[in-house]
A and B are shown apart, each in its own frame.
Chain A
C-alpha cells in the first residue's frame, strides 16, 4: 500500500548519490578543489586516507540505507500480518557492535601513523615565517647569512619539489593558513608558534585563504602560493632581496615624497628608503605582485586608485583608513607604487 513512499525515497537517494559523483567529477575551474586535485606529497598523503575512509563510508551508507528501504517495504502494515513481538537478539546486537568497532580500529592505525609522519620537520626545508594579521599575510624568508631578510606579502613564492617549513605567528586574532591543493590547514594563534609543511610538485599558482573566522573581512583574507622551478625561484629571490628602485619619473618621485612624508610611512616599509614600519605590508617590490590587499584585487591602475581613495569601502574592515587623498595625490602614489618592481 505504501510502496510509493519507499520507492520515492530510494529513487531520491540514488539521484542524490549520482549528483554527488557527477558534481565532484566535472569541476573544470576549481582552484581550491582538494578532493580531485592534489599538487604535492602532503596533500596526497591526506587524500590517500580519505580515499579509504570514503569508500568504507559509501559502502556503509548503501548497506544501511538499502536495509532501511527494504525494511520499510517488506514490513509495511498489511491486513494479513501481525507484528512479531520480540525484544532483541543478543547475537545480532553483539555482531553489529563489534563490526563497526573493528572497522574503526582499522582506520585508526593509518590515521595515527600519518599524524606523526606529518608532524615532523623535514630535512633541508626552506624556512618561511608567516605572520597573519587582519586581513593579510606577511612572509619573511629567512635566508642563511643575509642581514636583511626578504619580506613580502600575500603572495608566497616557493620552489617546486622542496619542502617548505612554515613558522606561523600572529598578533591580533586567530587565523588559519590554508592552501588546499598543497596541504591541510594550520591555525595561526596569537601568543603561540605553530608549524606546518607545504610542498608543490609542479609549478603553478595555488589559491588559498584564511579559514578561521577573523572578523569583518575574513572572506577577503586570501592568499596565493606561486611555485617555480628552482632556478626561477632563485632569480626571484635575488630580485626581491634588493632594495627598491628609484622612482622612474617626476610623478613617481612626487609619489615617493608623499609616501615618505605623509601617512604611508607609519605602517609600510620600502627597503632602501626611510620607510621601515611593519604594521602593514612591505611594499618594496609591490609592482611585481599580481594582487594586493590580501590577494583580493588584481594589481591594476584602476583598482589601486579605487583602493587609495577609500580602502574600507573596497574591503570592509581594512585597517588602512580613508586619508581623503586628492586625485592628484592618488595619481602620484599610484605612479610610485607601480615603479616598485
Chain B
C-alpha cells in the first residue's frame, strides 16, 4: 500500500497491517476474530478445569486414598484443585464461552458491522487472557488458590501460601475484562441495531446478552470491592475481615453473594438465549411466547439481586431474614419455569429435526428441570440446613451449570460452527459426542444427589470407610472419564472438520435470524448492505413470506448509524495498543504480590498503551476500506 500523502497524526509504532498470522490475531479488532480467540481460550481452560475435576474424582474414587503422594500433599493439592476447578469453570470457561458467542454473533444478529468499541473489545480479551494466565501461574509460584472459589473470610485472609493473593488479584483482573465487555455489548445492542430491528424484534439470544451485560455491569463492582478488601487484608495489613480487630467475616459473604448470585444468572442466561434460537430453528416454528421468555429473562435478572442470602441459611441470620430470602428464592423459580414451558410449547406442533445442536438443546431442557427442582428444595430452609455444603448442593449446581450452561454452550457451538468456520461438523460424531456427554454427565452428577442426602459433605479430600459412600463415589469417577472421552470425540470432530469437513453453505439449518443471510464464514465487514428488518425472525420471513416489500432495501455502507453512503465501508484497523495496555495490568498484578515497585512499571506500560490508543485514529489511512 502506498503511503498516504497527508498524515495528520503520528502513531507510536508503525501501524500493524497483518490481517492473518500471529500478528494478525494479536492486533485484531475484528469482533469475529476476538470471538474465536475467546472461544479457543475458554476451551483450553475447559480442558484444564476438566483435568482438575478428573484429579478430584481419582482421589475420591475410594475411601482413604492418597492419590497425590503423602497425606499432606494430597490434602494440599486437592484443596488447590477444587478451588481452581470452580474458579476456572466459572470465570475462565462458562463466562468467556458466553462472551465468545456474544462477540461473534451480537453484531451479526442485529445487522451491525462490528461492536461499538472494537479496540475496547480487544483490550477486554487480552485482559481476560492475561488474567487466566496470571491465575494459573500461581501453580508454579508457591501454590494455587486454596480457599474455595467463594474464598470465605477469614480463612481466605490467613491461608499461608500466596495462592489466595493470586485469587484476590486474579479475579480483579478478570473482572475488568468482564466490565469492559459488558459496556461494549450494552452500547452495541442499544445503538447499532439495523434499521427496523426494534427491541421486541431482537433475537432472544440478544435479549439475554443484554440482560447479562447489565448484570455484569452492576455485579462486577461489588466483587471488585470485596476483592480489594481481601487484597488489603492479605497484602497490606488490613483487618476488614479480622474478627479479632472488629472486622466482620460475614461482610465478605454478603458482598460475595450479592455478586455471586447474579453471577449464576450471568452464567445461565446466555445458554437460555442459545437454546431459544436452536429450538425454534429445528422445530421450524417461531418461539412460543417470545414476550414471556424475554420478560422472564428480565425478571430473573431483577429477582436475581434479591436471593443472595440463600447461600447463607446456616450462618445465623435470624428467622426473619431467613424467611424473606426463602420466599424470594422460591419465587424466582416461577420465571424459570415459564421458560421451560415455552421451550416445550415451541416444540409442540413443530417438525423436529434432531441434529446435534438440537439434541444438546433438548438435553439442556431435560437436565435444567432437574437442577431447577433441586434448587427449589434448597428454599425449604429447615431442610436446606441439612443439604447445604453437602454433595446435594454440588449435584444441584452441576445440573444447572453443566446440565444447563455447558449443554447450552455445546448446542451453540454445534449450531454456529458452520457460520464461524465455514465447514460443517460431522453429525455422526456430534451425536456420539452428545450421547457420551449425556450419559457421562448423569453418571457423574446424579449420584451426588444421593451422596449428599447420605451426609457426604463437599470439599473433603478424603472420607473413611463405613460411611456408605464408596459405591457411588466409584461410579462418579467412572462417569467423569466418560465425560472426558466425550470431549475427545468433540476434539476429533473439530480436527476432522477443519481438515476435510463439508463446506458450509450460508444457511445450512434453514434458520431464522440475520447471521444466516450472509456467507459462511462471514466477510470481514459482515454485511455488504445493512439489512432492513421488517419482522422478528426476519431472515425466515424473507425466505418464506414473499411480501410485496420483500426485496431487501439497499442501505449504503455504514447506514445503520446514519453515515452517508458512498464512502466505502469503514472498519477499524488493527492496533497494538489494546494488548500493550492489557499487558501492563498483568505486570501490575505480579507487582502487587511480589514486588510493589513493579506496579509502577505496569502502570507505565498500560499508560503507554492508553496514550498510544488515544492518539491513534481508529481507522488508519492505509487500510480499512473495502
Contact with A along B449-477 (1 / 0, CB 8 A): 11001111111111100111101100000
B354's contact among A28, A76, A184, A220, by CB below 8 Å, is which?
A76
- The answer to whether A23 and B369 touch across the interface, beta carbons within 8 angstroms, is no
Residues of A within 8 A of B369 (CB): 60-61, 64-65
Report Cα–Cα, A118/B376, bound state, in Å: 20
Residues of B within 8 A of A184 (CB): 314, 382-386
Assess whether A191 is interfacial by the CB under 8 Å rule. yes
Report Cα–Cα, A328/B248, bound state, in Å: 47
Contact with A along B299-337 (1 / 0, CB 8 A): 000000000000000111011001100110011011001
Residues of B214-248 at the interface with A, using a CB-CB cut-off of 8 Å, are: 243-244, 247-248
B284's contact among A83, A89, A317, by CB below 8 Å, is which?
A83
Contact with A along B329-364 (1 / 0, CB 8 A): 011011001101110110111111110000100100
Assess whether A217 is interfacial by the CB under 8 Å rule. yes
Contact with B along A94-137 (1 / 0, CB 8 A): 00110011001001100110111011000000000000000000
* Min CB–CB distance A121 → chain B (angstroms): 12
Report Cα–Cα, A142/B463, bound state, in Å: 33
- The answer to whether B334 and A100 touch across the interface, beta carbons within 8 angstroms, is yes
- The answer to whether B289 and A93 touch across the interface, beta carbons within 8 angstroms, is yes
Interface of B is mostly: helix
Q: In the complex, what residue of chain B is closest to A296 when comparing beta carbons? A: B464
Q: In the complex, what residue of chain A is closest to B250 when comparing beta carbons? A: A189
A23's contact among B243, B290, B390, B472, by CB below 8 Å, is which?
B472
Assess whether A5 is interfacial by the CB under 8 Å rule. yes
Residues of A within 8 A of B148 (CB): 213
- The answer to whether B349 and A75 touch across the interface, beta carbons within 8 angstroms, is yes
Contact with B along A13-36 (1 / 0, CB 8 A): 100100110011001111111111
- The answer to whether B385 and A186 touch across the interface, beta carbons within 8 angstroms, is yes
- The answer to whether A49 and B382 touch across the interface, beta carbons within 8 angstroms, is yes
* Min CB–CB distance A2 → chain B (angstroms): 5
- The answer to whether A83 and B249 touch across the interface, beta carbons within 8 angstroms, is no
Assess whether B501 is interfacial by the CB under 8 Å rule. no
- The answer to whether A101 and B319 touch across the interface, beta carbons within 8 angstroms, is no
Report Cα–Cα, A215/B79, bound state, in Å: 8
Contact with A along B97-134 (1 / 0, CB 8 A): 00000000000000000000000000000000000000
Report Cα–Cα, A70/B247, bound state, in Å: 57
A53's contact among B158, B345, B380, by CB below 8 Å, is which?
B380
Assess whether B154 is interfacial by the CB under 8 Å rule. yes
Q: In the complex, what residue of chain B is closest to A22 when comparing beta carbons? A: B450
Most buried by A among B79, B284, B314: B314
Report Cα–Cα, A219/B288, bound state, in Å: 48
Are A192 and B385 also in contact (CB < 8 A) when A23-B472, A171-B244, A313-B71 are?
Answer: no
- The answer to whether A219 and B460 touch across the interface, beta carbons within 8 angstroms, is yes
Segment with Cβ contacts to B, from A172-180, A243-251, A275-283: A172-180
Residues of A236-257 at the interface with B, using a CB-CB cut-off of 8 Å, are: none
Assess whether A152 is interfacial by the CB under 8 Å rule. no
- The answer to whether B370 and A88 touch across the interface, beta carbons within 8 angstroms, is no
Assess whether B159 is interfacial by the CB under 8 Å rule. yes
* Min CB–CB distance A22 → chain B (angstroms): 10
* Min CB–CB distance A153 → chain B (angstroms): 19
Assess whether A138 is interfacial by the CB under 8 Å rule. no
- The answer to whether B315 and A77 touch across the interface, beta carbons within 8 angstroms, is no
- The answer to whether A32 and B341 touch across the interface, beta carbons within 8 angstroms, is no
Residues of B368-382 at the interface with A, using a CB-CB cut-off of 8 Å, are: 369-370, 373-374, 376-377, 379-382
Residues of B within 8 A of A12 (CB): 439, 442
- The answer to whether B362 and A72 touch across the interface, beta carbons within 8 angstroms, is yes
Assess whether A209 is interfacial by the CB under 8 Å rule. yes
Residues of A within 8 A of B454 (CB): 24, 27, 30, 32-36
- The answer to whether B377 and A57 touch across the interface, beta carbons within 8 angstroms, is yes
- The answer to whether A57 and B72 touch across the interface, beta carbons within 8 angstroms, is no
Assess whether A47 is interfacial by the CB under 8 Å rule. yes
Residues of B within 8 A of A85 (CB): 285-286
Assess whether B76 is interfacial by the CB under 8 Å rule. yes
- The answer to whether A174 and B285 touch across the interface, beta carbons within 8 angstroms, is no
* Min CB–CB distance A115 → chain B (angstroms): 5
Assess whether A288 is interfacial by the CB under 8 Å rule. no
Are A220 and B462 also in contact (CB < 8 A) when A180-B455, A187-B316 are?
Answer: yes
Report Cα–Cα, A174/B75, bound state, in Å: 19
Residues of B within 8 A of A50 (CB): 377, 380, 383, 386
Assess whether B187 is interfacial by the CB under 8 Å rule. no
Residues of A within 8 A of B592 (CB): none
Assess whether B446 is interfacial by the CB under 8 Å rule. yes
Residues of B within 8 A of A118 (CB): 382
Residues of A within 8 A of B603 (CB): none
Assess whether A218 is interfacial by the CB under 8 Å rule. yes
27 A-B pairs with CB atoms under 8 Å apart are: A23-B450, A30-B455, A32-B454, A33-B468, A45-B382, A49-B383, A60-B369, A61-B369, A65-B366, A65-B369, A88-B291, A96-B337, A96-B338, A97-B292, A114-B381, A115-B319, A115-B322, A115-B326, A171-B244, A176-B389, A180-B455, A189-B249, A192-B243, A192-B316, A211-B458, A218-B79, A218-B460
A interface residues with partner B (beta carbon < 8 Å): 2, 5, 8-9, 12-13, 16, 19-20, 23-24, 27-36, 43, 45-47, 49-50, 53-54, 57, 60-61, 64-65, 67-68, 71-72, 75-78, 81-89, 92-93, 96-97, 100-101, 104, 107-108, 111-112, 114-116, 118-119, 171-174, 176, 178, 180, 183-187, 189-192, 194-195, 209-220, 312-317
Beyond A108-B330, A184-B382: 20 further Cβ-contacts under 8 Å? A50-B380, A53-B377, A60-B373, A71-B348, A75-B283, A75-B350, A83-B283, A84-B350, A93-B292, A93-B338, A104-B331, A115-B323, A184-B386, A190-B249, A192-B250, A192-B316, A211-B389, A213-B148, A219-B462, A316-B74
